[in-house]
Structure 1
């Protein structure tokens, strides 16, 4: 039976960036169907006890940098610990990915999502800038028309629906993977995700 995974992530999350390529590979290897669902953590944190980075205790902020460096080195993925454009508004890119998922399918949305995440954490690009998003569409071979489509009320409704689905599923952080109602939080849980998909 083909499994379905709801892939919830924030487009500015370093943890989503670090886990994205691995998740895409293991989902493909398992023959899983992925529903790409970028979400707004700003709406989820107040409901789940989470805090924006700037409001976390200093020791938590410091340890976050240690862990990001560790995973970046272990996974051999380039990562700027303090990128030029972070924090950054995630709504424009979340709407764009949502539209691409709707119009072009999950594979295209996953490809674009990887490019958006890398833009923040590897390439020092501003994913809130329409020019950056237009360039990422071109880079991933997608229609330039998707940018205008992402600036509509319908696109916002799609993005809002993903956030609500995350809330309904009990998601509280990014990335999160939901398989038949079972929640896996964090790119460091991908081994468990793979086992679940192959079970």
Structure 2
């Protein structure tokens, strides 16, 4: 039995987008399994002192845009710092990713997660739209039935449980990676995740 990383994120996070493909490559390189665990930051922020983007101080909002541009350029990853559909509700996509993880496994959920993140940050699509989510399922070769299943009580219960698990682990932002009980927050901490997995 190899190691497993618990991957906590929200599907509308630019930082999750910037780290996702590097994280996926690290998993492949190290032969590490992943548990794909979308969470509801709307429940976590009030407990952790976090603020949704529109409520943050202007200085913090401005610096966020600067950092997004810096990381986009440094990583060679296209990104619209202020995409057309943002802020956007992440719950529909999070439940869909949860349904895919449940029925198709974590590798399929990783594939869909990458497509959802790119839809927001490079393609400027509305991931709160059920039509867009149906398109993303088709584009990633996944069963259209997952969209219906994502709206069922068992998937909502699983999504709620994932959020509670994140709270219990002191997760407070996205993306967060948990390895052997140790928390790493942010795509700029992937080097530390790599060290942990290679140790």
Shorter-chain TM range is: over 0.9
User: What's 2:106 paired with?
Assistant: 106
- Indicate the SS of the match to 1:67: helix
Check if 1:154 corresponds to 2:169.
no
User: What's 1:6 paired with?
Assistant: 6
How many angstroms does 1:28 deviate by?
1.3
Give unmatched runs, 5+ long, in structure 1. none
Cα deviation, 1:25-68, whole Å, max 9, x if unaligned, reads 00111111100001111110000000111111111110000100
User: What's 1:140 paired with?
Assistant: 140
Cα deviation, 1:72-127, whole Å, max 9, x if unaligned, reads 01111111111111111111000000010011011100000000001011101000
What is the rounded CA distance, in whole Å, between the counterparts of 2:29 and 2:2 in structure 1? Answer: 12
TM-score by structure 2 length?
0.99
Moved runs in structure 1, 4+ residues, more than 6 A? Answer: none
How many angstroms does 1:23 deviate by?
0.3
- Indicate the SS of the match to 1:174: coil
How many angstroms does 1:153 deviate by?
1.0
What is the rounded CA distance, in whole Å, between the counterparts of 2:27 and 2:197 in structure 1? Answer: 8
| Number of corresponding residues | 199
Within-5 A mapping of 1:22-101 = 22-101=22-101
RMSD: 0.7
- Indicate the SS of the match to 1:43: helix
Give unmatched runs, 5+ long, in structure 2. none
What is the rounded CA distance, in whole Å, between the counterparts of 1:62 and 1:88 in structure 2? Answer: 19
What is the rounded CA distance, in whole Å, between the counterparts of 1:39 and 1:117 in structure 2? Answer: 15
How many angstroms does 1:2 deviate by?
1.1
What is the rounded CA distance, in whole Å, between the counterparts of 1:141 and 1:44 in structure 2? Answer: 32
What is the rounded CA distance, in whole Å, between the counterparts of 2:54 and 2:91 in structure 1? Answer: 19
